[in-house]
Each structure stands twice: as C-alpha cells, then as structure tokens.
Amino acid sequence: MSDNLKLADLLLPHIDKTPDYYEALYPERSLKEGAKVTRVAPSPTGYLHIGTLFTSLVNRIAATSSEGIFFTRIEDTDKKREVEGGIENIIDGLNRFGITIDEGFVSGKEEKGIYGPYQQSRRAEIYQTYVKDLIRKGFAYPCFCTAEELEATRAEQEKANIRTGYHGEWAACRSLTFDEIKSKIDAGIPFVIRLKSPGNEENKVVYEDLIKGKIEMPENDEDFVLLKSDGIPTYHFAHAIDDHLMHTTHVMRGDEWISSVPKHLQLFRILGFKVPKFAHVSPIMKLDDGAKRKISKRKDPEAAVHFFIEEGFDAIAVVEYLMTIAASDFEDFRRANPDKPYTEFKFNLKKMSVSGALFDENKLLDVSKNIISRMSGETVSEKITAWAKEFDTEFYRLLIKDQSYTKAIFSIDRDCAKPRKDIAKWKEAKDYVSYFFDELFAPDYTLPDNLTPADACEFLKAYVKVYNESDDKQQWFERIKELCPALGFASETKAYKAAPASYKGHAGDLSTVLRIAVTGRRNTPDLCSIMKVLGKDKCVERIEEAIKHIL
C-alpha cells in the first residue's frame, strides 16, 4: 500500500465510504434549462441581520425568476459562536418576511429535501469522506503545529517582510514522512488536515463575477485548513462540498468572500467538481458623518431585522424597499405594475449595485406608505392589531374592544381611488388614531390665528343644533356653509377671496374649528367620516367639552 493510502487510513480510520457513495446519493437535479439553484447559508449566531435578509431575497428572486430552487443551509461549524434558538431566529425571520424556502430548513424545526442534512454539524462524515480521498490522492496532509508555533512563524514572516501564511517552505508539516506522522498520532498529538496547495502566487486566476464583473487575483498557494482538529470542516471546504452535493448553480453571498475565491476555485478543481457561478453581493451601507460605511451589528439598530418588526414596518414594505436597493430597474417595474407581486419582477444581477447601496429610511417610509395606502381597511386593522398584540398591549386592548369600530377607523379614506398615504408603520398608528379612543384622546384646542374663541364657540353651539349624523359628505359640508352668513363668514371660499375684509373667514375655517373640537387636532382624514365612526353622542360630548376649553 502506498504511503498516501496508509496515511488516509491512519488519519480517518472510521471512514469507510468513498465520494462515489455520496455522488450517487445526491443525484443531479432535474430542472428546466437555465433554472438557478441558489441558497442562503447563515450561521446561527444571533438574530436575522438585514444583510442576510437582503442576500436571501436576492437568492430567492434569482431562483424564482428562473423557475429554480432556493434552499437554506445552516452553517454551524463554529459552535463557539452559536446562540440558543439561532436557527429559529433566522429561518422564522425569513418566513416572516415572506421569503419562501423550497428546501433545507423551511422553519426553525423542519427540514425538507433529499440533499440534506442541511446543517453542517450533521455532515461531518461526508466532509471526512472527501478529505480522506484527498489524502489518498496526495492533496491533503495532517498538520500538528500548535497555535504558538503558527504565531512564531507569522512573526518571523512579518520580520522578514514575507507574505504571512502557511505556504511553500513555511508549511512545516507538509514534508513530514509517514513514520513521523504515525509517531505523533500514536503520541496522541492533535492535528488538523490541510490542503497541499498546488498553486503558485505568481500565477493569476480570473473569474467572472455576475455582479462585480471580471476579477483577477493571485492563485492560492496557501495550505489552508480543510478539517479542524475536531473533524469539523472550515467554511472553505464545507462550501465546496455542500454546494457541489446540493447542486448549487449560483453562489450568491456577501462580498467579504471575494478574497477567498481563489481558494474555492482551487478546491473545486482538485475535487473534480463543476465550478458554480459566483455573485458577490455588496453590503448595505449607511451614511455616518458624511462617510459611507457598512451597516454594523454593533452600531446600528437597523442591522437587526427585528428592529423593523418592532417599529411596525410591514414585512412586505421592507422587502419591497430592499428590492429597490437590489435592482435599479425595480422601481420602473413597480410603477408600471402597481398591483403585481414583486416575485413577478424579472431580476437581473447586472442591475445590482457594485459598490453597496445606501440604506435610506425616508425612502423606506415612502415605499411603505404607498403599500399601506393600497391595503384594505380590514387588512390594515388586522395588521395593526397583530402588531399591537406583540408590542403595545395598551393599544391592543383598545383595538380589540370593538373590532368593527377598529375596522371602521382604519377604513376611512381607504379602499377608494385616491387613498390617503398616511401610515408608514404600525407604530405610528396609535398616535394617528388616538382621538378615536377616550383613553388616548389628548386634544390641542389651539385655534388658528384668524379665529377668535368667541366666534369658534358660537359656531360650535349653532352646529350642535343642526348636526345630523346621517348626512353624507356633501350635506355635512352644506350644514356648515348654511351657518356661515349668520356668523359673518363666507359660505364660499371664492366669495371670501374676492372680499376678505367683508368676512371673518370662510366655511373651511369653521370646519377646522369643528375638526379641532372633535379630534383635538387640525389635520385628520375626512372629518365627516370620522364623525360617523365616532357617533353622534361622542361628537356632541366632544364639541361641548371643546367649548368649555376654548371659551
């Protein structure tokens, strides 16, 4: 038996399969020509990050646009960084934002598909099988260097102004003989398995990134680690094995991985795998004191997607906003197709920002207002109630006291040709509709400068006498107009404008007085509708209360 074969058995004696076994177990997918198989591969190290949501969306839409498959894979090879509930946080978060998952972890607890397990910590045997094969072929070897030895090498390289890393003559364990290795193993010295890189720094590798374009980098010559001492792979190795066996066609991931592409290309080649297409997604940026920087987990609350949920942004608004960042032609699509789901947008990676798009909260608010304005009153009231249940118990109790009242409130100026673009996030709703609830009502009775308290009260007293709850919008305004002449106000704005000195004001001013009396504010949706929802008794009570305060 050759030394390599003996070495493979010595290092991984428990591995009895060969790669052929897995190649047969995970056959090619039968998808239509051009279908993209994409994935997101989060590490369960905390909450769902806005960047992960963004990358997932891009992967999802690329798969959808090509009738392909989007799957999830949990990269939990670093157990130290893992947090309790991490998988649920991320996968359930994606679900919450409507990112449908075809395969892999479809929820925090459920896995689907025949290419699993979709969790790296459960794939150790697969990785080890491929590593064993590389050892047999002379492409991998054990390394016994301690952290201190590696550090000493590094210091020496730095001192001599040599590129740091485990390469060439610095790769101390590369030339150990079988007998030397065997005696270390027998002595129980822990080891990692490294790639025996055939690369040369002087050579260039070129690849076409689907977002960034043509990229040229030096070939990898580093004997990087494939398997750590606990038998668990590094990211690089797991990526090559998993994306090969899961038949990923497009690896679309954060652009922090660009510098590792030479390693990955080398691995794919040595392993005899077809190289997937790569697309490196730029991070979402933020302006900080005029300078662009990556959204940061530590500094920015909006890095955690949960922030948007707590703020009461509707999931679809966040997704639609991210689509505007993802594709420069998405807004044209939206304008031309206001009612189509975003999933029908034909996504083209070439339209993605190369340098990283700026996060713009005002734009998000704007997108959100538009979307909410097109929702039915029923949907809005359901969504606000669901949000309040989770984040504002006081408001929730008020909303569920009388659900038809709640629905009527949120139906005002909605479901019509020109709906109001008023609410951008559910958190704003409480203040926005506070005057519908005595518990929240906090009126500001300040009158506009051109109106005196005496005139305002005289009008309110007269109005109560003629107020008819069943008036439609037109009749409602007619009533106010009819009161004008006796009070010295112009019924028509035109008449007022023609001779302002002859009047104290016009009918519009008096409707403002009524608005202030009933709602305690100057700006609201349609007042006639508000008064109908509040009901006559409540309106009269409010008007009488206002008279006391204004006088």
Q: What is the 3-state secondary structure (H, E, C) of 465-529?
A: HHCCCCCCHHHHHHHHHHHHHHHCCECCHHHHHHCHHHCCCEHHHHHHHHHHHHHCCCCCCCHHH
Total number of residues binding ligand GLU (CB under 6 A)? 7
Pick between residue 77 and residue 511 the one whose CB is nearest to ligand GLU: 77
Task: Quote the least distance from Cβ 39 to ligand GLU, whole Å.
Answer: 7
Task: Quote the least distance from Cβ 81 to ligand GLU, whole Å.
Answer: 11
Pick between residue 41 and residue 380 the one whose CB is nearest to ligand GLU: 41
Q: Which H or E run contains 67?
A: none
**In 187-246, which residue ranges form alpha helices assigned H by DSSP?**
235-245
Q: Which H or E run contains 112?
A: strand 111-112
End-to-end CA distance of the chain: 106
Half-sphere exposure (Cβ direction) of 400: Cα atoms closer than 13 Å:
11
**Closest Cα to residue 101, out of 120, 85, 122, 87?**
87
Task: Quote the least distance from Cβ 231 to ligand GLU, whole Å.
Answer: 19
Here's the x/- map for ligand GLU, 311-350, by CB under 6 A: it reads as ----------------------------------------
Pick between residue 237 and residue 476 the one whose CB is nearest to ligand GLU: 237
- In the window 119-148, what residues touch ligand GLU (CB under 6 A)? none
Pick between residue 116 and residue 419 the one whose CB is nearest to ligand GLU: 116
Q: Does 236 bind ligand GLU (CB under 6 A)?
A: no
What pairs with residue 285 in β-bridges?
294, 358
Pick between residue 42 and residue 520 the one whose CB is nearest to ligand GLU: 42
Task: Quote the least distance from Cβ 53 to ligand GLU, whole Å.
Answer: 12
> Which letter, b or e, does each residue of 405-425 get, where b requires 16 or more Cβ atoms within 10 Å of its Cβ?
bbbbbbbbbbeeeebeebbbb
Select from 56, 60, 69, 75 the one that contacts ligand GLU (CB under 6 A). 75
Q: Does 104 bind ligand GLU (CB under 6 A)?
A: no
Choose the stretch contacting ligand GLU; rule: CB under 6 A; options: 35-43, 131-139, 324-332, 402-410. Answer: 35-43
Whose tokens are 């064993």? That residue is 132
Pick between residue 280 and residue 334 the one whose CB is nearest to ligand GLU: 280
> Which letter, b or e, does each residue of 511-538 get, where b requires 16 or more Cβ atoms within 10 Å of its Cβ?
bbbbbbbbbbeeebbebbbbbbbbeeee
Q: Which residues contact 62 (CB under 8 A, 6 or more apart)?
A: 36, 38, 68, 70, 250, 252, 347, 349
Pick between residue 255 and residue 415 the one whose CB is nearest to ligand GLU: 255
What pairs with residue 383 in β-bridges?
none
Task: Quote the least distance from Cβ 52 to ligand GLU, whole Å.
Answer: 7
Q: What is each CA distance from 202 to 218, 219, 220, 440, 513, in whole angstroms?
A: 7, 7, 10, 72, 81
Taking residue 100's Cβ as centre, other Cβ atoms within 10 Å add up to: 12
**In 187-314, which residue ranges form alpha helices assigned H by DSSP?**
235-245, 261-271, 305-311
CA 206 to chain centre: 32
Pick between residue 282 and residue 512 the one whose CB is nearest to ligand GLU: 282
Tokens for 117, please give them: 């397990």
Pick between residue 51 and residue 505 the one whose CB is nearest to ligand GLU: 51
Of all residues in the shown chain, the one whose CB is closest to ligand GLU is 253
CA 38-40-42 angle, to 5 degrees, is 165
Task: Quote the least distance from Cβ 239 to ligand GLU, whole Å.
Answer: 5
Choose the stretch contacting ligand GLU; rule: CB under 6 A; options: 41-49, 310-318, 437-445, 506-514. Answer: 41-49
**How far is Cα 138 from Cα 7, in angstroms, rounded to an integer?**
10
Choose the stretch contacting ligand GLU; rule: CB under 6 A; options: 4-12, 38-46, 147-155, 408-416. Answer: 38-46
Task: Quote the least distance from Cβ 238 to ligand GLU, whole Å.
Answer: 9
Select from 36, 38, 43, 419 the one that contacts ligand GLU (CB under 6 A). 43
- In the window 381-440, what residues touch ligand GLU (CB under 6 A)? none
Pick between residue 274 and residue 418 the one whose CB is nearest to ligand GLU: 274
Choose the stretch contacting ligand GLU; rule: CB under 6 A; options: 5-13, 39-47, 94-102, 220-228. Answer: 39-47
Half-sphere exposure (Cβ direction) of 387: Cα atoms closer than 13 Å:
22
Q: Does 41 bind ligand GLU (CB under 6 A)?
A: yes
Q: Does 76 bind ligand GLU (CB under 6 A)?
A: no
Q: What is the DSSP letter of 314?
A: -
Choose the stretch contacting ligand GLU; rule: CB under 6 A; options: 36-44, 384-392, 457-465, 526-534. Answer: 36-44
Select from 239, 407, 506, 532 the one that contacts ligand GLU (CB under 6 A). 239
- In the window 240-279, what residues touch ligand GLU (CB under 6 A)? 253-254
Q: Does 42 bind ligand GLU (CB under 6 A)?
A: yes
Tokens for 528, please give them: 């006639």
Site residues (CB under 6 A) for ligand GLU? 41-43, 75, 239, 253-254
